[in-house]
Amino acid sequence: MKTWVSVGVVGVLVFAQLRPAHACGCLAIPSVASPVLQAGERILFAKDKDQVVAYIQIKYQGSADHFGWLLPLPSLPTLQLGTDELFDQLGKHTQPDYQLTTNQMFCGGGSASSTSDLSGGGCGGADEASFAPAYDGGMANSDLADQHMNEMVTSGGIGPYDYAVLHADDQTEMLQWLQDNKFFVPDGTGQAVTPYIHPGAFFLALKLRSGQSAGDVVPVIVRYTSDLPMIPIILTQVGAVPNMGILVWLLGEARAIPRNYYHTVIDELPVWLGSESYESLVVRAIKEAPKRHSFITEYAGPSSIMQNVLDYPGRFGTLADLKLLTDPSSYLSYLQGHGYPFDATLVEILNRYLPEPASLVQEGVSLQAYYAAYDSWQAQLPPDSDGGAPPPPFDPVACSNEIDTRIVQPTRATAALFNAHPYLTRVFTALSPEDMNADPVFSENPDLPQVPLVHSATVTIPCSGPQWLSAQGFESQFPGNSVTTLPGSVHIETLRESGPPMIVTDNTATIVAALGTVSHGSSFYGNGNNNSGSSGGFGCSCDVPRRTRGELGSLLMVALTALALRWPRRKKT
């Protein structure tokens, strides 16, 4: 759990403007925000026999020498590095999808229906790492177990990090060691670590090695023996910002639940009605829960949603073929053609075996840009671009072995983890430092239903009269921007390890009262729930399709001519 990272929730809103077919009715349908959130922390938990496997993406902005990461653990950990791809793919494939269906009623009879996907590309929260059992640079449990247990610390290096595993028996001694060894310890850490100090517990500390930058922060995977996954949120408050987003995925045998936090079912109407963003709504709904301790579930269902995402057939090619490519251009083309992710991990490896020329570094050319257009950059370099020194010989065998260790094997191991667990749950919360006073623990409940990714609503545009929105069993006049008193949650509930939810707060009646009582004519086709909706009129009427002045004049002349031809003429006498 990162503790000294200044990050916040960033809502990324993608808008879609619907353009219904010409017909009678109000045609101005407002945009709806796509529910895209970025979280300050992203974690994937899974159980592997008696161990908890935690894939953790560390978000950090600031000076590298002010980066510090401290994680309390109940047992000796195993630590490995990963790439960003896992969270990228998880975010993209588990992002909620909001779809609005428009039912258009025509003046002459009949109707038309169309559905628009209002979700934007990409996801907030989308990134991750591929991790696996300890490979090169990993810190194995057996390595730590061989150390004398009365020693204060076991330390070493892994990737861009220096790490230390400390006994959590004595708080003063532990914090003093961190300070003496130049691990950044901000004010307030002493009080925050107090709940985690007891015999038999441990702390994992990370810092960036000398010469590394904040851009070198890469995901890590931590394995440790424990009964249930837990987020040490109390310690997180030291570096947290208001409404910090925490996005968690959990792999298991059934739907995951926050065992000691409440669960909130949000009221989606403000989003559909265009009066509030999804991000703002979620934050407000969570704050309605007692002590502001609550999660929402954004997806709960088969883990097969990630099938063939990380390990699709043919990905990575073969290691033997890659090792034979002594030409850098051919080598990079092979990587690009076989699905290797050109993320921070890969470009860091490539830069050690195929370093970017100093002249391009001085020009500000990024590593990603250099390797993406390697041939083009090489063609632009003068012979003496680096002072006449020849480039170092490229070693495809050593480079390929490291890529296999750091990227290929971890990615395949992570894919196997999804195959080993049938159920995947995605939960989200947003907490401010003052709310971080209880560590959320997660369990499972096999009796709970799935939570699909697709959220649906229907707008009906009658031949005359107001438009209506049907969503979550409620009906409201549409657009409904005048509705500003809706609660953020429909239900606040307690989830247990068996049985249905136990509702703590039910806002259904409050929502119905805020929407008002409605009665709609025969031209309206809603969801059959006639006891809710917004009162008041928006002045809708039969709307003539927009045309140019000339088009309207021509149509009027045609109509008058037709009328004249059909008018009965009086016979002459």
Q: Residues 194-208: pLDDT tens digits? A: 899 988 899 999 888
Across the range 3-23, mean pLDDT stands at 28
The span from the first CA to the last CA of the chain, in angstroms, equals 102
More confident residue, 551 or 12: 551
**40-51 burial, b for 16+ CB within 10 Å, e for fewer?**
bbbbbbbbeeeb
**pLDDT at position 214, please?**
64
More confident residue, 18 or 566: 566
**pLDDT at position 533, please?**
30
**C-alpha–C-alpha distance, residues 504 and 488, integer Å:** 15
**C-alpha–C-alpha distance, residues 203 and 222, integer Å:** 12
**Which residues are paired to 429 by β-bridges?**
246
Residue 191's H or E segment, with its range, is helix 189-193
**C-alpha–C-alpha distance, residues 112 and 461, integer Å:** 10
More confident residue, 470 or 570: 470
* Three-state secondary structure call for residue 292: helix
Q: Residues 466-513: pLDDT tens digits? A: 888 889 988 888 765 556 678 999 999 999 999 999 999 999 999 888
Q: Residues 199-247: pLDDT tens digits? A: 889 999 988 887 776 666 788 999 999 999 999 999 888 777 889 899 9
Residue 160: name the closest of 209, 96, 104 by CA.
Answer: 209
Q: Residues 82-96: pLDDT tens digits? A: 778 899 999 999 999
Across the range 257-275, mean pLDDT stands at 92
Question: DSSP readout, 231-286?
Answer: --HHHHTTT--TTEEEEEEEEESSEEEESSSEEEEE--HHHHTTSS-HHHHHHHHH
**CB-neighbour burial class of residue 101 (10 A; exposed 0-12, middle 13-18, buried 19+):** middle
Would you say residue 22 has pLDDT above 70? no
Q: Residues 413-440: pLDDT tens digits? A: 899 999 999 999 999 999 999 999 999 9
Across the range 7-12, mean pLDDT stands at 26
Question: DSSP readout, 294-346?
Answer: EEEEEEEEEGGGGTTTSS-TTTT--HHHHHT--SHHHHHHHHHHTT---SHHH
Ranges 65-69, 398-402, 515-519, most confident: 398-402
**C-alpha–C-alpha distance, residues 440 and 256, integer Å:** 12
Residue pair 131/45 in contact (Cβ under 8 Å)? The answer is no
Across the range 440-467, mean pLDDT stands at 91
Ranges 64-73, 119-128, 149-158, most confident: 64-73
Omega into 355 within 30° of 0, i.e. cis? no
> For a pLDDT cut of 70, what percent of the chain falls above it?
71
Would you say residue 64 has pLDDT above 80? no
Q: Output the pTM of the full model.
A: 0.77
More confident residue, 164 or 2: 164
**pLDDT at position 145, please?**
38
Q: Residues 313-350: pLDDT tens digits? A: 999 999 999 999 999 999 999 999 999 999 888 998 99
Residue 466: name the closest of 477, 482, 481 by CA.
Answer: 477
Residue 555's H or E segment, with its range, is helix 549-566
Tokens 């690009």, residue?
A: 336
- Looking at every residue in the chain, the average pLDDT score rounds to 76
Ranges 307-311, 341-345, 447-451, most confident: 447-451
